[in-house]
C-alpha cells in the first residue's frame, strides 16, 4: 500500500496534523495537495507545540521528503516564517520541496477576501481572510501567478501589472476600499522571497512523486480542511475554494488514482465547525461550551472559537462515500470521557421523512433535524490507555458505532494531544 491519502471527514480541524505526524514516521514522502495557510495543523512533541500552516507535517523527520504540491496556494511570506520558526527550533528543513506549479497568494488576494466578506454582510462565509478564495479564482480564471513565474522577470512583471490594475479597480470602484498597491513594491518584496526559496523549488513536482511511486516508496498525500468544506461535496457556498476530498489528492499532487491503496479518514469523536453555515448537530449552551473548553476548540489559524456538536453519522456516510474511505483515525475520544450520555446522529428528518443521505443543498440541509440515538458515556479517563482492549467497554461500543456508520475500519484512536497518546488497532 505505498500511496495513502489522509483526509478530514468533517469541517476540518479533525486532528489531521497529529495523525499525519504519526504516519510520517513510516513514510518516504509526504505531499500536501490543496489549500493554503487557511489550514493549521497542530503537532505536539513533548513540551513543544507546532502549528504548521503550509509545510507538510512530515517535516519533523529528516528522512521524509515533504512536498508542497501543485494544488496548494502559497503565501510566500508565511512559508518563509514557518521555515525560520522550524529552523530556530532545531529542524533543518532540508527535505522541503515546493512545486513550481503552485499558485502564489498576493496582498490583493487578502484584500479581496476581506472586501468580499464585508460586502456579503449577512451571507458571509466566515473565511480565514488569508486570500485563499481569490487566489484560486485567479488560478481557474488563468490569471494566476505560479512559483515558476517568480523566476522570469518579464513574465512576472506583466502578469502582476495586469492583476494589480484589475484588483485595484475592483477594490476601489466596487468595494469602495480606497486602496493603493504598487507593482514595484510587490516585485521587490516577492523577488526577495524568490531568492530565499529557490533551493526548495522543483519543476515538475509530479515527476518527483511519480519517481517515488515507481520505486515503491511510501507516499502520504496530506489533505487540509475537510470533506464538508470541499467546494464540490461540502456545504456550498460555506466551503473553502479547493477539493480536500480524496479525488483532489490526485489532481493536487499529480498522480493517477490507481496508485492509491488507502484512504484514511480522520474523524473527531464529536464535530466542530468554524465560520458560518448550517451545522445540524450543533450543541447550544453549556454542553457545547464545555466540549469547546475541554477540547481546546479554538482555530489554530485564526483563534476563533469553534462551534461544537454531536457526532453526525449522516456527514460520516457522506464522507465515506465521496472519499472512498478504507480506514478511520478517530481523534479526541478523551474529550468525551466525562459525558454521562452521548448523542449520535444516525439520520436526518426532512419534511417529516427520515433521510440517510447528506443533502448538499444548504437550503434543504437547513430544514433537516438530526435523529439521535443516545448512548451511555464511559466516564473514565482514557488518556493513558495504549491498547484497544483496555478501553472501557462503552467507549469501544461508541467507536464500533462510528465505524458502522462509516462502513470503514478504525485503525487509530487518539486519546490526547501528545505523540504517544495513540491506540493502534
Q: Was 38 annotated as part of a binding site?
A: yes
Establish if 247 lies at the interface with ligand IMP (CB under 6 A).
no
CB of 303 to ligand IMP, least distance (A): 12
Which of 17, 248, 275, 359 touches ligand IMP by CB under 6 A?
275
Establish if 39 lies at the interface with ligand IMP (CB under 6 A).
yes
CB of 237 to ligand IMP, least distance (A): 9
For residues 39 and 66, is the Cβ–Cβ distance under 8 A?
A: no
Whether 41 sits among the annotated catalytic residues: the reply is yes
For residues 339 and 425, is the Cβ–Cβ distance under 8 A?
A: no
Cell of 409: 475500519
Q: Was 304 annotated as part of a binding site?
A: yes
Judged by CB under 6 A, the stretch of 77-85, 126-134, 352-360, 368-376 that binds ligand IMP is 126-134
Whichever of 13 and 21 has its CB closer to ligand IMP, that residue is: 13
CB of 276 to ligand IMP, least distance (A): 6
Which residues from 83-122 bind ligand IMP, rule CB under 6 A?
none
Which of 23, 111, 219, 224 touches ligand IMP by CB under 6 A?
224
Q: What's the rounded Cα separation, in Å, for the pair 292 and 284?
A: 11
Establish if 128 lies at the interface with ligand IMP (CB under 6 A).
yes
Instruction: Report DSSP state, residue 175.
Output: S
Whichever of 10 and 163 has its CB closer to ligand IMP, that residue is: 10
CB of 199 to ligand IMP, least distance (A): 28
Establish if 227 lies at the interface with ligand IMP (CB under 6 A).
no
Which residues from 343-382 bind ligand IMP, rule CB under 6 A?
none
Q: Was 414 annotated as part of a binding site?
A: yes
Tell me whether the omega of the peptide bond preceding residue 237 falls within 30 degrees of 0, making it cis.
Answer: yes
**The one catalytic residue among 103, 139, 233, 327:** 139
For residues 406 and 330, is the Cβ–Cβ distance under 8 A?
A: no
* Contacts of 293 by beta carbon, 8 Å cutoff, 6+ apart: none
Establish if 127 lies at the interface with ligand IMP (CB under 6 A).
yes
CA–chain centroid gap for 361, Å, is 22
Which of 18, 103, 130, 167 touches ligand IMP by CB under 6 A?
130
Whichever of 114 and 342 has its CB closer to ligand IMP, that residue is: 114
Whichever of 306 and 327 has its CB closer to ligand IMP, that residue is: 306
Which of 132, 220, 246, 346 touches ligand IMP by CB under 6 A?
132
**The one catalytic residue among 28, 41, 53, 268:** 41
Which of 9, 34, 37, 240 touches ligand IMP by CB under 6 A?
240
Whichever of 2 and 295 has its CB closer to ligand IMP, that residue is: 295
Judged by CB under 6 A, the stretch of 237-245, 313-321, 357-365, 392-400 that binds ligand IMP is 237-245
Which of 19, 212, 229, 267 touches ligand IMP by CB under 6 A?
229
* Contacts of 51 by beta carbon, 8 Å cutoff, 6+ apart: 40, 41, 42, 300, 301
* Contacts of 357 by beta carbon, 8 Å cutoff, 6+ apart: 314, 317, 318
CA–chain centroid gap for 267, Å, is 12
CB of 187 to ligand IMP, least distance (A): 26
User: Please, what's the b/e burial string for 59-96 (b: 16 or more CB within 10 A of its CB; e: otherwise)?
Assistant: bbbeebbbbbbbbbbbbbebbeebbeebeeeebebebb
Q: What's the rounded Cα separation, in Å, for the pair 127 and 273?
A: 12
Helices (H), 66-217: 76-88, 107-120, 132-140, 153-169, 183-197, 205-214
Which of 95, 225, 253, 339 touches ligand IMP by CB under 6 A?
225
Establish if 38 lies at the interface with ligand IMP (CB under 6 A).
yes
Other Cβ atoms within 10 Å of 160 Cβ, number: 21
Whichever of 34 and 163 has its CB closer to ligand IMP, that residue is: 34
Q: What's the rounded Cα separation, in Å, for the pair 304 and 323?
A: 28
Q: What's the rounded Cα separation, in Å, for the pair 109 and 129?
A: 9
Q: How many residues does the chain have?
A: 425
Task: Return the SS3 of 312.
Answer: strand
Binding-site residue total for ligand IMP (CB under 6 A)? 21
For residues 227 and 319, is the Cβ–Cβ distance under 8 A?
A: yes
Determine how β-strand 65-68 pairs with β-strand 103-104.
Answer: unpaired
Question: Which residues contact ligand IMP by CB under 6 A?
Answer: 11-13, 38-40, 125-128, 130, 132-133, 224-225, 229, 238, 240-241, 274-275
**Binding-site entries for substrate:** 300-306
- Residues known to be catalytic: 13, 41, 139
Amino acid at each position: 500500500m505505498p500511496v495513502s491519502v489522509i483526509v478530514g471527514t468533517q469541517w476540518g480541524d479533525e486532528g489531521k496534523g497529529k495523525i499525519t505526524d504519526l504516519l510520517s514516521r513510516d513514510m518516504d514522502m509526504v505531499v500536501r495537495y490543496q489549500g493554503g495557510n487557511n489550514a493549521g495543523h497542530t503537532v505536539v512533541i513533548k513540551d513543544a507545540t507546532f502549528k504548521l500552516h503550509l509545510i507538510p507535517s512530515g517535516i519533523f523527520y529528516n528522512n521524509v521528503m515533504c512536498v508542497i504540491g501543485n494544488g496548494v496556494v502559497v503565501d510566500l511570506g508565511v512559508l518563509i516564517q514557518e521555515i525560520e520558526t522550524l529552523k530556530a527550533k532545531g529542524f533543518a528543513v532540508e527535505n522541503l520541496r515546493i512545486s513550481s506549479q503552485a499558485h502564489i497568494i498576493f496582498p490583493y488576494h487578502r484584500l479581496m477576501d476581506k472586501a468580499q466578506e464585508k460586502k456579503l454582510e449577512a451571507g458571509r462565509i466566515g473565511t480565514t481572510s488569508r486570500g485563499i478564495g481569490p487566489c484560486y479564482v485567479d488560478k481557474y480564471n488563468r490569471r494566476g501567478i505560479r512559483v515558476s513565474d517568480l523566476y522570469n522577470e518579464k513574465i512576472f512583471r506583466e502578469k502582476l501589472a495586469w492583476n494589480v490594475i484589475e484588483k485595484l479597480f475592483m477594490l476601489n470602484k466596487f468595494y469602495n476600499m480606497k486602496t493603493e498597491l504598487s507593482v514595484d513594491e510587490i516585485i521587490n518584496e516577492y523577488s526577495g522571497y524568490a531568492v530565499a526559496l529557490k533551493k526548495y523549488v522543483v519543476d515538475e513536482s509530479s515527476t518527483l512523486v511519480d519517481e517515488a511511486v515507481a520505486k515503491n516508496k511510501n507516499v502520504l498525500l496530506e489533505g487540509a480542511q475537510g470533506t464538508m468544506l470541499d467546494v464540490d461535496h461540502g456545504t456550498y457556498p460555506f466551503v473553502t475554494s479547493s477539493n480536500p476530498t480524496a479525488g483532489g489528492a490526485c489532481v493536487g499532487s499529480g498522480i493517477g488514482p490507481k496508485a492509491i491503496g488507502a484512504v484514511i479518514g480522520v474523524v473527531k469523536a464529536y464535530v466542530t465547525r468554524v465560520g458560518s453555515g448550517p451545522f445540524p448537530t450543533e450543541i447550544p449552551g453549556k454542553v457545547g461550551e464545555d466540549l469547546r473548553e475541554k477540547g481546546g476548540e479554538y482555530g489554530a489559524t485564526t483563534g476563533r472559537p469553534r462551534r461544537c456538536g454531536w457526532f453526525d453519522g449522516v456527514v460520516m456516510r457522506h464522507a465515506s462515500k465521496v472519499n472512498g474511505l478504507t480506514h478511520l483515525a478517530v481523534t479526541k475520544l478523551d474529550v468525551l470521557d466525562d459525558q454521562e450520555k452521548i448523542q449520535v446522529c444516525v439520520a436526518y428528518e426532512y419534511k417529516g421523512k427520515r433521510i440517510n443521505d447528506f443533502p448538499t443543498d444548504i437550503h434543504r440541509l437547513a430544514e433537516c433535524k438530526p435523529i439521535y440515538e443516545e448512548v451511555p458515556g464511559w466516564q473514565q479517563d482514557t488518556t493513558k490507555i495504549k491498547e484497544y482492549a483496555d478501553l472501557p467497554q462503552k467507549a469501544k461500543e461508541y467507536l464500533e458505532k462510528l465505524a458502522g456508520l462509516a462502513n470503514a475500519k478504525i485503525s487509530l484512536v487518539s486519546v490526547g494531544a501528545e505523540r504517544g497518546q495513540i491506540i493502534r488497532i
